[in-house]
Amino acid sequence: MQRIFSGIQPSGIPTLGNYLGAIRNWVALQRDHACIYCVVDLHAITVWQDPRQLATQTRELAASIIACGIDPQKHILFHQSAVRAHAQLAWIFNCVARLGWLNRMTQFKDKAGRDRENASAGLYVYPNLMAADILAYHATRVPVGDDQRQHLELANDIAQKFNHDYGVAFFPTIEPLILGPAARVMSLRDGTKKMSKSDASDQSRINLSDGPDLIAQKVRRAKTDPAPLPSEPAGLEGRPEARNLVGIYAALADSTPADVLSEHGGKGFGAFKEALAALLVESLAPIAAETRRLLADTATLDGILRDGARRAAAIADPIVAEAERLVGFVGP
Ligand code: TYM
């Protein structure tokens, strides 16, 4: 069975983008894969996180992932900082990856912005840690949203260079799984910008914790254009906001943009937004309720994460020990 690995940062409340681009696909993959899912707190601190909030956000995210349908008993759910192998392998990968490769990472350029000199060194080498997350488990399939594609290409470059430099066939090739009609959910305020936990405007995103009224209000206010919906996907060309809402609808309805448009084409956005808001509330309200229920018992939640970390370490530790032996370390 191929091993699946994926991660998500506890840097805020998970959004509809995280859900449709990643978590929902993680749930489906549980049926026929061995899955390891990780709340990546080491990644989160590449930008400043208030220590009092980081622990809360880590638990909230874990609860939300379980509420979405991840089974932490059959599969593995844990927080990254609890398994030392990630940081250990990341150091080796810091020495394998080339500066030229990291300089090409568009996400670093976006996140560092104009004040690049002031970005943390961690933000710069973040893709090396991400490669370590996956390769510490010899995972071969990685379900992510479209924005992580470049990082996974870099992970494959790192794996190949390690194998080449040490004359081994130790790390496998990773296959990105970028699935469904909502692999890139866009901001509700600007159809050319990714929906993000860190956008200054809460109106730009749907959070998995939003209640029905707030969801309906955000959808009603979502930016659109004046034309009615087209009846075929080709008519979405040059209409990023319309394309985004149709993609979200298709993903939630387990359908395709073509089917959504054959049903809703010709309608104005008023009617379509009502239908979309109803579908969102129906999908997300149970998740929010279950997240709240799980968060009422943090002792149980912490137990789940601890147990996941123990089982994760049992897989990663021997793999990373072997990587260290290949590098030439004497060992503890
Ligand atoms: P993060 O925390 O930014 O996002 C978690 C997952 O959600 C997806 N995603 C989206 N998908 C569609 N539309 C959007 N607007 C959207 N926003 C986010 C992301 O693609 C991701 O799949 N570096 C990663 C976390 C990570 C990781 C890993 C992933 C760390 N190690 C190893 C895979 C394997 C990140 O920051 O994701």
| Alpha-carbon gap, residue 313 to 137, rounded angstroms | 9
Residue 147 C-alpha to ligand 1 middle, in angstroms? 7
Q: CA-CA distances (angstroms) from residue 94 to 69, 135, 157, 159, 174? A: 35, 14, 13, 12, 19
Q: Euclidean distance between the first and final Cα of the chain, in Å?
A: 32
223 is catalytic: no
- From the list 170, 242, 199, 34, the residue with the least C-alpha distance to 111 is 199
| Alpha-carbon gap, residue 35 to 49, rounded angstroms | 28
What's the pLDDT at 114? Answer: 87
Q: Which of 193, 194, 218, 273 is catalytic?
A: 194
pLDDT tens track for 60-118? 999 999 999 999 999 999 999 999 999 999 999 999 999 999 999 999 999 998 889 99
SS3 for 325?
A: helix
Residue 166 C-alpha to ligand 1 middle, in angstroms? 30
pLDDT tens track for 174-226? 999 999 999 999 999 999 999 999 899 999 999 999 999 999 999 999 999 99
Query: Which residue has a Cα nearest atom 1 of ligand 1?
Result: 8
Helices marked H in 170-268:
212-221, 240-252, 257-264
pLDDT tens track for 228-262? 999 999 999 999 999 999 999 999 999 999 999 99
Q: CA-CA distances (angstroms) from residue 104 to 108, 152, 153, 265, 300? A: 8, 13, 11, 40, 42
Half-sphere exposure of 154 (CA within 13 A, CB side): 27
Query: Which residue has a Cα nearest atom 35 of ligand 1?
Result: 8
For the chain, the helix, strand and coil percentages under 3-state DSSP, each to the nearest 5: 60, 10, 35
Mutate to test the pocket of ligand 1, among 19, 125, 142, 144 (most ligand atoms within 8 A of CB): 144
Query: Which residue has a Cα nearest atom 5 of ligand 1?
Result: 8
User: What residues contact 256, with CB distance under 8 A and at least 6 apart?
Assistant: 181, 250
Residue type, 303: G
| Alpha-carbon gap, residue 68 to 22, rounded angstroms | 11
Half-sphere exposure of 158 (CA within 13 A, CB side): 31
Residue 19 C-alpha to ligand 1 middle, in angstroms? 10
Would you say 41 and 54 are in contact if contact means Cβ atoms under 8 Å apart? yes
pLDDT tens track for 253-286? 999 999 999 999 999 999 999 999 999 999 999 9
Measured from the Cβ of residue 293, the count of other Cβ atoms closer than 10 Å reads 11
Query: Which residue has a Cα nearest atom 24 of ligand 1?
Result: 8
Residue indicated by tokens 């805020």: 12
Identify the H or E element spanning 226. Answer: none
Identify the H or E element spanning 144. Answer: none
Band of pLDDT at residue 1, cut at 50, 70 and 90:
confident
